[in-house]
Amino acid sequence: MIQKKRRLLQWSLIVGIGVLLGAFVPPMTHNLSARSEKAYRELKIFSDVIDLIEKNYVDPVESKDLIEKAIQGMVHSLDPHSAFLPPDAFKELQVDTRGEFGGLGIVITLHKGILTVISPIEGTPAHRAGIKAGDQIIKINDVSTKGMALWEAVKKLRGPKGTSVRITIHREGEPKPREYSIVRDIIPIESVKHKVLTPGYGYVRITNFNENTTRDLNAALETLESDSGGLKGLVLDLRDNPGGLLNQAIRVADVFLEKGVIVSIKGRVKRHNKVYKAHRNKKVTPYPIVVLINGGSASASEIVAGALQDQKRAVIMGTTSFGKGSVQTVEALRDGYGLKYTIARYYTPSGRSIQAQGIVPDIEVRPGVVPEKKKEPPESGLLREKDLENHLEAVPAEPRENRESRDPDKKRLQESRSRFGPLDAGVLKRDYQIRRALEILISFEIFKNIRG
């Protein structure tokens, strides 16, 4: 009986691994009988170990859990970006690239170990209910969030449109918690935001690359051009953009390029080798561009930055990017599982590999905040209005609670709110890297008009 059970387990393992391999090998190689005796021996050792653990381990264990963890370990040992995805994780990955999900419409984080609202998304159920930035979510459906992982909280808050969820909020300055019952709706994932920095100069931030990114970018550029009466320059912010869909990165780069290679992909399997080229656009974008990157700019955002840099279409500014120059694909497996694995490396138009190297900016600029102007000494002993004590400012003073915080944790939370909440031109221009980018664009316009 034991031998029969062991043979059955061996067969199930062989079939399971055959399904896994079927994600990236031709159908004719699915039959493991064509493989070497070595593979059989290794599979037998694998099944023997599981059989022994299942029968003799000090605590009861399920063979399903052992097999799942073994596959996870196998795939993760390949590289940091390959993963065997359980059904819940596979669903979340699909949601992140789809461009929308059912939920409340809040961006959350763990701030000092407490589930905290970074920003409610305007027009969503959470926004209409009165959820505010800084609110602490202490319960979800009467379940305490203390010690709850961020992904677990996101899973509890998301759900089908029309269903409701109860959240208990602690708000600073209020003695008692508030309870909200909010009906979920379809929430768009906003990957593109834009703002006019100063007349003629626009700012576009791309936070990730999902299904709607190129469409939203084109809409943002049209709005900026109409609001500015025509763009003289653009700041394209890819800082802390972790990547996303490869096809969207290619299309975004294509918006600004008229010809030439955008990116080339080279893998071990011939069918994975591809070269993507730019197409002539119906609408030309002739204005100069400064692209901002940092160590959080990875993968798809590096493709865009590398293409615009090599094609001499933009000045790259900031700090060296993350250096994720590999391409992953995701295959659906049975029972809701998924497999994400690396199939190729990508190269910029000049043939540079970004893997573990990153995009090096043309102009290195460290992050910071533009300091307030110091009080200048009176010129030639003459007093001016600004030198008089208690003089009125040109605009009303900013409220104390809105001034820059000296608390580093609170400052990081405010930066997150700036990233996910509505953009403010004044706040953007206090960002040192954005300010430098704007100065370069304005200088270019000035020099262009100088006749020499």
- Spatial CA neighbour of 259 closest among 345, 362, 349, 325: 349
Give whole-number Cα distances, 45 to 7, 50, 58, 228, 383, in Å: 12, 9, 21, 69, 89
Strands 185-188 and 315-318: unpaired
Helix (H/G/I), strand (E/B), else coil: 420: helix
Marked catalytic residue, from 47, 119, 191, 299: 299
Q: Answer yes or no: is 32 within a domain.
A: yes
Q: How do residues 214-242 score in pLDDT, each as one tens digit?
A: 999 999 999 999 987 789 999 999 998 88
Check residue 369 and report its DSSP letter: B
- Are both 209 and 171 inside the same structural domain? no
421 near 106, Cβ under 8 Å? no
Cα distance between residue 308 and residue 285, in whole Å: 13
Decide if pLDDT at 407 tops 80.
Answer: no
Decide if pLDDT at 390 tops 90.
Answer: no
Share of the chain residues as helix, strand and coil, in percent rounded to the nearest 5? 40, 25, 40
Q: How do residues 12-40 score in pLDDT, each as one tens digit?
A: 332 232 222 222 333 333 444 445 677 88
Q: Per-residue b/e over 370-393, b at no fewer than 16 CB within 10 Å? A: eeeeeeeeeeeeeeeeeeeeeeee
Q: How do residues 355-385 score in pLDDT, each as one tens digit?
A: 989 999 999 999 987 766 555 555 555 656 6
- Are both 115 and 148 inside the same structural domain? yes
Instruction: Map tokens 């915080």 to a residue.
Output: 405
- Are both 265 and 343 inside the same structural domain? yes
- Are both 296 and 196 inside the same structural domain? yes
- Are both 295 and 360 inside the same structural domain? yes
**Residue 170: predicted pLDDT:** 96
Domain range for 155 is: 100-188
Check residue 244 and report its DSSP letter: B
**Which of 112-116, 221-225, 248-252, 441-445 shows the lowest mean pLDDT across its residues?**
112-116
Cα distance between residue 68 and residue 74, in whole Å: 10
Decide if pLDDT at 195 tops 60.
Answer: yes
Q: How do residues 32-71 score in pLDDT, each as one tens digit?
A: 444 567 788 888 999 999 999 999 999 999 999 999 999 9
**Stretch 73-98: mean pLDDT:** 84
**Residue 399: predicted pLDDT:** 54
Q: Per-residue b/e over 231-240, b at no fewer than 16 CB within 10 Å? A: bbbbbbbbbb
Cα distance between residue 114 and residue 102, in whole Å: 23
- Are both 227 and 339 inside the same structural domain? yes
Q: How do residues 111-168 score in pLDDT, each as one tens digit?
A: 888 999 877 877 889 989 999 988 999 999 999 999 888 878 988 999 999 999 999 9
Binned at pLDDT 50, 70 and 90, residue 416 comes out as low
Q: Answer yes or no: is 282 within a domain.
A: yes
- Are both 134 and 203 inside the same structural domain? no
- Are both 202 and 168 inside the same structural domain? no
Decide if pLDDT at 421 tops 80.
Answer: no
Q: Answer yes or no: is 155 within a domain.
A: yes
Q: Answer yes or no: is 380 within a domain.
A: no
Marked catalytic residue, from 193, 195, 232, 324: 324
Q: Answer yes or no: is 428 within a domain.
A: no
CATH number for the domain harbouring residue 169:
2.30.42.10
Domains of the chain: total: 3
Q: Answer yes or no: is 409 within a domain.
A: no
- Are both 104 and 137 inside the same structural domain? yes
Active site residue 185: no
Q: Which helix (H) or strand (E) holds 197?
A: strand 192-198
Decide if pLDDT at 6 tops 80.
Answer: no
Answer with the one of 364, 388, 408 that is the final residue of a domain: 364
Q: How do residues 271-302 score in pLDDT, each as one tens digit?
A: 999 999 999 988 889 999 999 999 889 899 99
Active site residue 324: yes
CATH number for the domain harbouring residue 293:
3.90.226.10
278 near 254, Cβ under 8 Å? yes
- Are both 182 and 197 inside the same structural domain? no
**Residue 69: predicted pLDDT:** 92
Answer with the one of 337, 364, 391 that is the final residue of a domain: 364
Return the top range by mean pLDDT from 116-120, 168-172, 402-406. 168-172
Marked catalytic residue, from 237, 310, 416, 431: 310
Active site residue 181: no
**Residue 377: predicted pLDDT:** 54
How many other CB atoms are found less than 10 A from the CB of residue 434? 25
**Distance between start and end Cα atoms, the chain:** 95
- Are both 184 and 306 inside the same structural domain? no
**Residue 8: predicted pLDDT:** 36
The pTM of this model reads 0.73
- Are both 133 and 261 inside the same structural domain? no
Q: What is the DSSP string of 274-325?
A: EEEE----SS---S-EEEEE-TT--THHHHHHHHHHHTT-SEEEES------
Nearby residues of 148 by Cβ (< 8 Å), 6 or more positions away: 115
